[in-house]
Amino acid sequence: MKDRIEKLRSEAEAYLIADQESLEQFRILYLSKKGLIPALFDGFRELPADEKKEIGFLLNSLKQFATDRYNSSKESLSSAEAATTGRDLSMPSVPFGMGSRHPISIVRREIIDIFSRIGFTVSEGPEIEDDNHVFSMLNFAKDHPARDMQDTFYIEKISGEESDPHDVLLRTHTSSVQVRVMESQNPPIRTISPGRVFRNEAVSARAHCIFHQIEGLYVAENVSFADLKQVLLYFARELFGKDVSIRLRPSFFPFTEPSAEMDVSCNLCGGRGCNVCKGTGWLELLGCGMVDPNVLEACGIDSVKYSGYAFGMGIERAAMLKYRVNDLRLYFENDVRFLSQFRTEIV
């Protein structure tokens, strides 16, 4: 046994390892389960007790030598290959994680899907608009504050005119898309208008100069405020869960009459009151109302025969309520620590 061990060690020392293939042959020949060294260990069990101590030491020494040679040769070959290819093949692979949709995109698609199930189509329009479609046809007065430079980004303003209908600006809401739909289509009209809008506001945890809206419009015969309320209740429960409640508060918008603000019960405190809902148990979500007859007439629709409702919401606000985000700026900073939390969303 002793002679066999010494002979095997000499052969292992002399074995030529020149590439990955010969390295693997070395491993199979000497170290694999059916290799020469494990075969010696099988015969070790049959030795007399007085020989086992010496032979055991020699066997372990042989196995360690073969293992060390295999590992050192493997490292040398990897280094040499890396020098040739410019890559370190001994480095562990980088785990590339799966990407995800942005939370604004997730909520946007979910809202579109909810309204699509009850017959609403999607309409889109230009982000660079004219004063006529953004303000005038929506019943905004000439001196309405929203026309002022403090609220609106004007791209081109004709000098000498305080509010020229041909002024070019960044749209402040996607209601301009609804105007274009009513101009080009005859009732019945049932559409939603998602898109990016711009307002000249200071950036803070609850406001931004760029944000996203989805506005809805339904124009047909005999449309009532009751129809609007039922659609909004359906929407809120589909987005936030069956236990959510809504309430409508009287408000004012130039393009709807009557108008209302819709609140949803706070999903953080269950309506009991917390610092997010300021102790009220309610969170404001959207504005809505019946389309003003002046708007219908401006778009060429008979306001005596047809009526309609409209609503609009900020997608950021809906996403804040859905995901309990307390700072709107997080949506725009592209912080991977924030975005990685939405990897499980398959939408």
For the stretch 132-155, pLDDT in tens is 999 999 999 888 887 776 688 888
Nearest to 197 by CA among 188, 208, 205: 208
Q: Is the pLDDT of residue 299 over 60?
A: yes
Cα separation, 296 vs 217, in Å, equals 12
The band of 90, judged by pLDDT with boundaries at 50, 70 and 90, is: low
Which of 43-47, 143-147, 293-297 is predicted least confidently? 43-47
Give yes or no for residue 156 having a pLDDT over 80: no
Asked if the model's pLDDT at residue 221 lies above 50, the reply is: yes
Looking at the predicted structure, is the pLDDT value of residue 335 above 60? Answer: yes
Highest mean pLDDT among 155-159, 280-284, 293-297: 293-297
Phi/psi at 212 (5° precision)? -120, 140
Tokens 């339904």 sit at which residue? 218
Question: What is the dihedral sign for C-alpha 154, 156, 161, 163?
Answer: negative
Q: What is the pLDDT of residue 306?
A: 97
Q: Band the pLDDT of 32: cuts 50, 70, 90.
A: confident
Q: Are 297 and 291 in contact (CB under 8 A)?
A: no
pLDDT of residue 347: 45
Residue 327 has pLDDT above 90, yes or no: no
pLDDT (0 to 100) of residue 95? 67
pTM of the model: 0.66
E strand or H helix at 122: strand 121-122
Q: Is the pLDDT of residue 85 over 70?
A: no
Percent helix, strand and coil across the chain, each to the nearest 5: 40, 20, 35
251 pLDDT more than 80 = yes
Longest dimension (CA), the chain: 114
pLDDT on residue 50: 78
Q: Which range, of 13-22, 46-55, 306-315, averages the lowest pLDDT? A: 46-55
Q: Which residue type sits at 121?
A: T
Lowest mean per-residue pLDDT among 47-51, 80-84, 162-166: 162-166
Which amino acid, one-letter code, is at 282?
Answer: W
Q: Is the dihedral of CA 332, 338, 342, 343 positive or negative?
A: positive
How does residue 278 score in pLDDT terms, banded at 50, 70 and 90? confident
Average pLDDT over residues 93-115: 84
Name the residue among 146, 127, 136 with its Cα closest to residue 197: 127
Helix (H) or strand (E) holding 172: none
Report the pLDDT value the prediction gives residue 286, as an integer from 0 to 100.
93
Q: May I ask the CATH architecture of the domain 103-342?
A: 2-Layer Sandwich (3.30)
**Residues 6 or more apart in contact with residue 276 via CB below 8 angstroms:** 266, 268, 269, 283, 326
**Domain limits of the chain?**
2-85, 103-342
